[in-house]
A and B are shown apart, each in its own frame.
Chain A
Amino acid sequence: MGLRKVAIVGAGLTKFHRYAQETPKELAYEATKMALDSCEMTLDDIDSVCLGTAPDAFDGVHMKGEYLSDGAGGFRKPYMRHFVGGGTGVMSPIHGWFHVASGMFDTCLVVAEEKMSSAFPHPAGAFLTIFDHTTEQPLYPTLIWIFAIEMHRFMHKYGYTKKDIAQVAVKNKANALFHPSAQLGAKITVEDVLNSEVMAYPVNRMDISPTSDGAAAIVLASEEVARRVTEKPIWIDGIGYCLDSAYWCNRDLYYPDYVEIAARQAYDMAGIKEPSKEIHIAEPYDPFTYKELHHIEGLMLCKRGESVKMLLDGVTQRDGNLPCCPSGGALGVGNPIAATGLMKIIEIFLQLREEAGERQVPGQPTCGLAQAWGDLMQVGTVVVMRS
């Protein structure tokens, strides 16, 4: 069935900081300008704009999408925002794909921005409001509780240890040393992670990615425009997204069904039958250390229960058979929620064009995947790209 081909032709990314001086609009502008410049296009060449940004509560502006529209190039253009919580950053290229694949637009500027530092004293407080206002909020929960619950179930199910899981942080923070946007690239050890203060057992401080301010943008184009604008268009070959029930207490959290369903949608569309062999490089979402492993299993990049073995065998290292988070991921680069997902998309884009500099994965990868997750352990968004 003839789906219109859509490619990513340009990308831009700001530096990620815990506290950035720039306003949300300015951050969006910086990323957008860089993305347009990278493929020598101007706003006049852009037919449509779509933007992803996570809860308005962080920036402290209601209808945040409207507020950001001019910074994101949306002035007097068809401009729309999409939202699936933490999964937004990878939903962004999917929404952009709809724009171009529909035939209604030839180009789409896709922007993701987050300024979490506006929420004082700490954006974590805003997460109270994601819980059901009547049946859960009166208990004053925090998102860390659900993460800890999920991590606990995951470890319990397969006998994973904190020591093993901590290796994800070691790997990703080390990878991030070579990422120009990185907030927290560093050489750390497993002991550093295990000795960091306990937030909610089994989650320690260094199991968690930092909150950040940052923005990212990509330019999508139809085949005709893509081939005019760049010699290395990267094709969006598969998309998938899936949102589970809000009743998270009725689900066993050890396995992300919604990630698998989203992945299957993307693999079907891309014609991928054996993801562990055909995906050369992956950027699963890693807001917490164990999440990278949880998602690798959901993406069916290994059998259930084997993600730790994959990690310890070095398969997911940059020079391994299936590098995961060569960018440094959320753990190393930073986690400005929506922008993180798009940062991962950009990483695959660069890697497939062999333009990832010192982060470049060897072996000339031709097929990569980026994935994000969000809400109450609910949504999976997956994009498969090929050169």
Chain B
Amino acid sequence: MTRQVAVIGAGTTGFRATTPDVSYREMTYEAAKKAYLDAGVEPKEIGAFVATSEDFVEGYSIADEYAPDQLGAALKSLYTVPGDFIQAMGSAVMMLKSGLYDIVAVQGLSKASNMLTKAYLTEFALDPIYNRPLKQHPDYIAGMEMNRYLFETGTTREECAQVVVKNKRNAMFNPLAAHACDLTLDYVLEAEMVAYPLSELDIAPYSDGAVVIVLAAGETAKALSDKPVWVRGVGWCSDSPTLETRDWGQAMYASLAAEMAYKMAGIKSPRSEINFVELNDEFSYKELQHLEALRLCNPGEAGVLTMDGATEISGSLPVNASGGCLGVGNLFECTGGQKVLDVVLQLRGEAGRNQLKNVSTGLAMGWRGLPTTTGAVAILSN
């Protein structure tokens, strides 16, 4: 009989384009304090902590050194997962299911505004021998993938642009979002090209912010929370890291991660069992590609569903009601954390103006961004 795991607390600072008034330590402390208060636990009751960060995003080496203090984890069990928040959450789920811990906290943080040369940062993740010497602005990788995706599925630039319109407008009523705006489809289609067919407005801007969640297992979860959000399934997968050998049209990593999560959750037909989704849309076409990869619609259908309004807040399968990356911001490793946070808020009925009605099962999906093919999925229910 395997232990059930639930989210019993969540805290965030909210997301803004810049946060010059607070250091990363102060931001994380705020998110952690809120999460622990929400969960009704003190740090000393938390068995272990999992942080997420990448050295070069933060700008110092061995970034895990600077994780414990602000989480109340000094002299406790903590390690870092250089990966998406949902992968770290996957680790926490494993830790809780092992029986060794009853409560585990997961932390994600973005100080994207402090990283001044982001294109060079992404370039530094490319293969140093085969790809970096080409000295191209790395968004070309997304442009190439978008091109292939449109070609293979018949999806159009208009359908991608509609994703931008929808998500940025959803963000208007999300008080945590940083990049809300009300655009028309034509306006988005006329945006300047960056790497054809990818235009400026197809790319999510960055945000700063921190998210901390507290997970508990079995009886502890029930005892501590009257609104536990059950983690029914979690999955993660990495496809080929090299540009030369990857599948450019499909997001295999998302399909395989979802498969693992669906199996764990006992979900046989995702389309009817998943009520809403928060997924990575840091490039507009990614929302459509990911939706299809998660088997929530057929290849080529995602764009059609979007134009039909099915993925709007009022639609049959709301996608990114929070505003997604396009509306809230790209948070580097914490991006998946924003997805999980919003799924939790929806399932607890705490999503404010954008609250979805009658939802019981949500899916949060993360992708690590360029140039990776790594994704993770979490399925939560109330």
Name A's B-contacting residues (CB within 8 A). Answer: 1-4, 23, 54-57, 60-70, 74-85, 91, 95, 97-99, 101-104, 126-127, 129-133, 239-247, 257-258, 261-262, 265, 269, 374-376, 378-379
Is B79 in contact with A102, judged by CB distance below 8 angstroms?
A: no
**From B55, B62, B67, residue with most partner A Cβ within 10 Å:** B62
Is B94 in contact with A75, judged by CB distance below 8 angstroms?
A: no
* Interface flag for B222 (CB, 8 Å): no
Flag B238-249 by CB within 8 Å of A: 1 or 0 each.
Answer: 111110000000
B145 to chain A, nearest CB (A): 16
Across the interface, A82 reaches (CB within 8 A) one of B73, B74, B80, B235, namely B80
Is A98 in contact with B129, judged by CB distance below 8 angstroms?
A: no
Tell me the complex Cα distance, A95–B62, Å. Answer: 18
Across the interface, A99 reaches (CB within 8 A) one of B75, B82, B94, B253, namely B94
Tell me the complex Cα distance, A95–B63, Å. Answer: 18
Flag B261-276 by CB within 8 Å of A: 1 or 0 each.
Answer: 0001000000000000
Across the interface, A55 reaches (CB within 8 A) one of B55, B75, B79, B98, namely B55
Is A130 in contact with B62, judged by CB distance below 8 angstroms?
A: yes
Find chain B residues with CB under 8 A from A85 CB. 62, 64-65
Interchain Cβ contacts within 8 Å, total number = 193
**From A56, A99, A132, A269, residue with most partner B Cβ within 10 Å:** A56
Is B97 in contact with A104, judged by CB distance below 8 angstroms?
A: yes
Name B's A-contacting residues (CB within 8 A). Answer: 2, 54-57, 59-69, 73-83, 87, 90-91, 93-95, 97-100, 121-122, 124-125, 127-129, 235-242, 252-253, 256-257, 260, 264, 368, 371-372, 374
A97 to chain B, nearest CB (A): 8
Find chain B residues with CB under 8 A from A103 CB. 2, 97-98
Is A3 in contact with B99, judged by CB distance below 8 angstroms?
A: yes
Find chain A residues with CB under 8 A from B2 CB. 103
- Given known A-B contacts A101-B98, A243-B73, A79 and B62 have beta carbons under 8 A apart: no
Is A79 in contact with B67, judged by CB distance below 8 angstroms?
A: no
Tell me the complex Cα distance, A1–B273, Å. Answer: 35
Tell me the complex Cα distance, A4–B98, Å. Answer: 7
Find chain A residues with CB under 8 A from B242 CB. 70
SS class of chain A's interface: helix, strand, loop or mixed?
mixed
Find chain A residues with CB under 8 A from B63 CB. 83
Across the interface, B82 reaches (CB within 8 A) one of A57, A83, A131, A379, namely A83
Find chain A residues with CB under 8 A from B129 CB. 23
- 19 pairs of residues in contact across A and B, judged by CB atoms under 8 Å: A60-B124, A61-B124, A62-B55, A65-B83, A69-B241, A69-B374, A77-B237, A78-B90, A79-B236, A80-B90, A81-B83, A98-B94, A102-B93, A104-B93, A131-B60, A132-B60, A243-B67, A244-B75, A245-B69
Find chain B residues with CB under 8 A from A23 CB. 129
Is A75 in contact with B79, judged by CB distance below 8 angstroms?
A: no
Is B75 in contact with A257, judged by CB distance below 8 angstroms?
A: yes
- Given known A-B contacts A57-B55, A67-B127, A77 and B65 have beta carbons under 8 A apart: no
Tell me the complex Cα distance, A63–B80, Å. Answer: 13
SS class of chain B's interface: helix, strand, loop or mixed?
mixed
Find chain B residues with CB under 8 A from A244 CB. 68, 74-75
Is A76 in contact with B66, judged by CB distance below 8 angstroms?
A: no
Is A242 in contact with B75, judged by CB distance below 8 angstroms?
A: yes
Tell me the complex Cα distance, A103–B240, Å. Answer: 26
Is B235 in contact with A78, judged by CB distance below 8 angstroms?
A: yes
Tell me the complex Cα distance, A375–B60, Å. Answer: 12
Tell me the complex Cα distance, A299–B124, Å. Answer: 39
Is B60 in contact with A245, judged by CB distance below 8 angstroms?
A: no
Find chain A residues with CB under 8 A from B64 CB. 83-85, 243, 375, 379
Beyond A62-B122, A242-B77, 14 extra complex contacts between A and B, CB < 8 Å = A4-B99, A61-B124, A62-B56, A70-B240, A70-B241, A78-B90, A83-B62, A83-B81, A84-B64, A130-B65, A240-B77, A241-B78, A245-B75, A375-B62
Is A65 in contact with B76, judged by CB distance below 8 angstroms?
A: no
Tell me the complex Cα distance, A139–B94, Å. Answer: 42
Tell me the complex Cα distance, A54–B79, Å. Answer: 13
Is A129 in contact with B61, judged by CB distance below 8 angstroms?
A: yes
Is A245 in contact with B74, judged by CB distance below 8 angstroms?
A: yes
Across the interface, A63 reaches (CB within 8 A) one of B54, B60, B128, B235, namely B54
Is B77 in contact with A62, judged by CB distance below 8 angstroms?
A: no
Tell me the complex Cα distance, A242–B372, Å. Answer: 30
What are the 8 A-B residue pairs with the smallest beta carbon separation, nearest first?
A: A101-B98, A102-B94, A245-B74, A102-B97, A62-B125, A62-B124, A85-B62, A79-B238
**From A1, A130, A247, A262, residue with most partner B Cβ within 10 Å:** A130
Is B77 in contact with A265, judged by CB distance below 8 angstroms?
A: yes
Is A66 in contact with B125, judged by CB distance below 8 angstroms?
A: yes
Closest to A265 in B: B77
Find chain B residues with CB under 8 A from A81 CB. 81-83
Is B372 in contact with A78, judged by CB distance below 8 angstroms?
A: no
B323 to chain A, nearest CB (A): 26
Is B241 in contact with A83, judged by CB distance below 8 angstroms?
A: no
Closest to B60 in A: A129
Tell me the complex Cα distance, A131–B60, Å. Answer: 8
Closest to B84 in A: A80
- Given known A-B contacts A82-B81, A84-B64, A242-B75, A66 and B368 have beta carbons under 8 A apart: yes
Find chain A residues with CB under 8 A from B54 CB. 56, 62-63
A213 to chain B, nearest CB (A): 15
Is A56 in contact with B56, judged by CB distance below 8 angstroms?
A: yes
B84 to chain A, nearest CB (A): 10
Tell me the complex Cα distance, A233–B200, Å. Answer: 56
Find chain B residues with CB under 8 A from A97 CB. 98
Is A66 in contact with B241, judged by CB distance below 8 angstroms?
A: yes
Tell me the complex Cα distance, A4–B374, Å. Answer: 28
Find chain B residues with CB under 8 A from A102 CB. 93-95, 97-98
Find chain B residues with CB under 8 A from A261 CB. 75
Tell me the complex Cα distance, A60–B125, Å. Answer: 9
Find chain B residues with CB under 8 A from A104 CB. 93-94, 97, 264
Is A75 in contact with B82, judged by CB distance below 8 angstroms?
A: no
Is B125 in contact with A241, judged by CB distance below 8 angstroms?
A: no
Tell me the complex Cα distance, A205–B252, Å. Answer: 50
Find chain B residues with CB under 8 A from A247 CB. 69
